[in-house]
Structure 1
Amino acid sequence: MANTQEKAIAGVTSGLISLGEQVTWRARHFGLPFRLTTKITEMKSAEIFVDEQLRGPFRSFHHVHEFYELDGETLMVDRIRFAAPFGPLGWLAERLVLGWYMPRLIRQRNDYLLHG
C-alpha cells in the first residue's frame, strides 16, 4: 500500500490477529495523515471476522470480512459500513468522495494481499 503509506504502528503489527485484539494504522489519504485504531469484535475461524473503529477519522467504521470456499479456492467478500463526522459536511463527503474512495481502497488492499 505504498500509495497511502499505510503501516500498522501499534497493537498487533505483524502475524495473525485474534478476537478482542487491536491494531493502529497510520496512512496518508488525500495528502493528509490519518490514524485509525480498530478492534476485532467478531471472529469465526475460516468464516468471518469483523473489525470496528475505536479511534480514528470516522464517526463510525464497521468492516466485515467473509470467507467462502469456491471451486477449491477461497473467496473473500468485504462489507464496509462507515459514517463521516461533521454532520451535513460529512454526509456530503460520503456521497461525493468516500462512497467511491473507500471501496476502491479496499479493492487495492485486497489486491496487495493477494499478489504482494
Structure 2
Amino acid sequence: MPRIELETVINAPIERCFDLSRSIDLHKISTEHTNEEAIAGVTLGLIKLNESVTWRAKHFGVYQILTTKITEFDSPRFFVDEMVRGAFKGFRHEHHFESIENGTLMTDIFEYQSPFGILGKLVDIIVLKRYMTKLLIKRNDTIKEFAESDQWEAVLSQ
C-alpha cells in the first residue's frame, strides 16, 4: 500500500492549523486547479467526527466523485478522513498536529490502495504517488499561507 508522509512547519497556533485543515472552504481554495467542489454532506465550514463530504473534481481529464468520512477526531491534535466511495480501492488520511516553538508541526500520513490489481500498482509507480504528493503539498502550502497571514479569519469566520 503506497504511503505518503509530509511534515509542514506553520508559524501559527495549533488550533488555527487544525481548523484550517478541516475547513471545506479552504480545501476548495487549495484545489481550484481541479475544479473541486463539495456536492453533498458537509459542503461549507468545518467538518467534524462522523460527518462526510462528497467531492466532485477533475483529475487526469476526467470528473470523479469521492466521498470521505471523518472517522477519528481529537481536537486539536489529530483527525482521520477515510474514503467511503470513490476511485481508489480505499484510503486513509491521518492529520497530526503538534505544538512546537513558534507554531505547529503538521504531519500528514496518506495511505491508499489503487484499484485494478497489478495495473493499479503500475499506475502508482508511474504517476499516481507523485500526483497525490503534489496535491497534498499544494493543500499544505495553502493551509500554511492562510494560517500565517490574516487570510485565515475570512475562512474560519464563515
For Structure 1 versus Structure 2, the TM-score category normalised by the shorter chain is over 0.9
Q: Say what the alpha-carbon RMSD is for the aligned residues.
A: 1.1
The structure with more helix, counted as a fraction of residues? 2
Q: Distance in 1 between matches of 2:139 and 2:67?
A: 17
Aligned with 2:32: secondary structure?
A: coil
**Aligned equivalent of 2:101:** 71
Distance of 2:40 and 2:102 partners within structure 1: 35
Give the TM-score taking structure 2 as reference length: 0.70
Identity among equivalent pairs (%): 50
Match of 1:48 among 74, 78, 86: 78
Which deviations, in whole Å up to 9, do the C-alpha atoms of 1:47-92 show, x marking residues without a partner? Answer: 1000000000000111000001111312211110001101111111
Distance 2:100 2:58 in 1: 35
Residue 24 of structure 1: SS of its match in structure 2? strand
Provide the C-alpha distance between the structure 1 equivalents of 2:84 and 2:44, rounded to a whole number of angstroms: 19
Separation (CA, whole Å) in 2 of partners of 1:43 and 1:94:
29
Report the count of equivalent residues.
116
Higher relative contact order (CA 8 A, sep 6+): 2
Distance in 2, matches of 1:31 and 1:87, equals 22
Q: Among residues 5, 8, 11, which one is paired with 2:41 in the alignment?
A: 11
Which residue of 2 is the match for residue 35 of structure 1?
Answer: 65
Q: Which amino acid is 2:46 matched to?
A: L
Structure 2 unaligned segments of length 5 or more: list them.
1-30, 147-158
Please give the secondary structure, in 1, of the residue aligned with 2:134.
helix
